Amino acid sequence: MIWIILVSLLLLPVLPPSTSSDNATTNQSLEITDDDDDHDVTLKSDKNPPAAKYGEKCTMPCELAAKFMKEERHSLCSDLQHSIVSYTRSTRKMIRDLIDEQQKSLELLSNQVMELTSKVSSLSLEVQRSNTETLSVKPVQSHGRDCSDIKETLDASVSKIPSGIYIIHPENIEYPFEVFCEMDYMDGGWTVVQRRTDGLTDFKRPWSDYINGFGHLPGEHWLGLRKIFNIVSQKQTPFQLHIAFVSQDDSTAYASYDKFWIEDETNFFRIHLGRYAGSAGDAFRGYEQEENQETAPFSTSDVDNDGCNPTCTFDGNAVESCSIHQNGTGWWFNQCGRANLNGSPSDQDQATIPNMRWETWTKNGIPVQIKSVTMKIRRMVIHQNN
């Protein structure tokens, strides 16, 4: 509508003087003709005003058209600006909605992946445990005082004695019990008292569990302090303790002690070690006297025998309990020391390294991270002089 008005104003013709004005001018001219020369000046002055009025009639429509065009441009720019702002806002909202929707989808997928990963991990552990259980699940019905005694008995009748679960009956106890015998490692006859391999067994245990034993004999387990005591306390039967290590990069080392034995429960199963041999270093005795764990009583989080009175220094920190500070595991602690092969590898809340510790086994001056370890005992060969 506005454009129609503007076009009309631009095309509007300049109206000629009216008839009455023409008559007046004619009469005026006639009158001037009859008069003298002074009236000629009057006539010229009378003709100038109409010319000025005619010019004013031309100016008004042009100014009005320009004004309308300016207002129209302003209106169009304002409408365009509002449209751009509105479009930008709606686009931003649409993008935010899409991002939120994608984020929700990603979170859902992430949760599904975590759930599936957990299921796969559980199934993998079940398969691993199942495969482990196939290794001599049923104990071999062959009795002996320990695995060394069983090996000596079977050597005469069996060409190859398999490793697995056997029943032993040490001297001076009422009931037999099952153990895992390694028959193919260094001439065999080893009774396994501790094994760490896959992290399936929790070693954060109270005193009662460490006394009686826990875990799964073909896999990770702790035989039990009472059973270990019953084996090594047999008369005139010295035992060797052998510890086999495997690091995270699959390198191996060992530590061996002859004349190994532990005291009874009333003395908290104090450990006694003979001469050391091996490639992993003597972490039981450490580098300094205050680190020496030999003759130390066994200690757990609920039965504290670690000698921290009132505190011990561990990795530069003052601790009240070595067991609690090392994830609630049990060991022969003495001022914490440099060894704890029962450390829990699954706890990530501790500031210090929570894994198994044998700090004399080093590489480039740094303790090696242990992946698996087995503690086993075997009768020592006694050489009698004639």
Distance CA 10, CA 3 (A): 11
The helices-and-strands tally (H runs, E runs) of the chain is: 7, 17
Label the pairing between strands 370-379 and 239-247: antiparallel
Per-residue pLDDT at 295: 96
Note the pLDDT of residue 75: 82
Q: What is the pLDDT of residue 33?
A: 39
Predicted pLDDT of residue 19: 43
Residue 275 DSSP class: -
CATH number of 139-379: 3.90.215.10
Place of tokens 């020496």: 292
What pLDDT sits at residue 178? Answer: 96
- Partners of 76 in the β-ladder: none
Q: How far is CA 81 from the centre of its chain?
A: 50
Return the pLDDT at 126: 64
Q: What does the pLDDT read at residue 142?
A: 63
Q: Phi first, then psi: what are they for 313, rounded to 5°?
A: -100, 120
List beta partners, residue 102.
none
Low-confidence spans in the chain with pLDDT less than 50: 3, 6-7, 10-56, 134-136, 346-354, 386
Q: Are 325 and 319 in contact (CB under 8 A)?
A: yes
Domain locations along the chain = 2-130, 139-379
Task: Give Cα separations from 178 to 123, 154, 188, 211 (angstroms).
Answer: 28, 17, 17, 15
pLDDT of residue 34: 42
Per the prediction, the chain carries an average pLDDT of 81
- Per-residue DSSP letter, 25: H
**Looking at the chain, how many residues does it have?**
386
What pLDDT was estimated at residue 206?
97
Q: Which residues 6+ apart lie within 8 Å of 217 measured at CB?
A: 165, 178, 179, 180, 192
Which residue intervals of 298-358 are DSSP H helices?
Answer: 322-325
| Rounded to 5°, angle at Cα 275 from 274 and 279 | 130
For the chain, where are the E strands, in sequence order? 140-144, 164-168, 177-182, 190-196, 214-215, 221-222, 239-247, 252-262, 271-272, 276-278, 312-314, 317-319, 339-340, 357-358, 362-363, 366-367, 370-379
Q: How far is the CA of 254 from the CAs of 63, 251, 284, 381, in angstroms? A: 107, 11, 13, 20
Q: Specify the 3-state DSSP secondary structure of 289.
A: helix
How many angstroms separate the CA atoms of 304 and 281, rounded? 27
Say if CB 132 and CB 165 are below 8 A apart. Answer: no
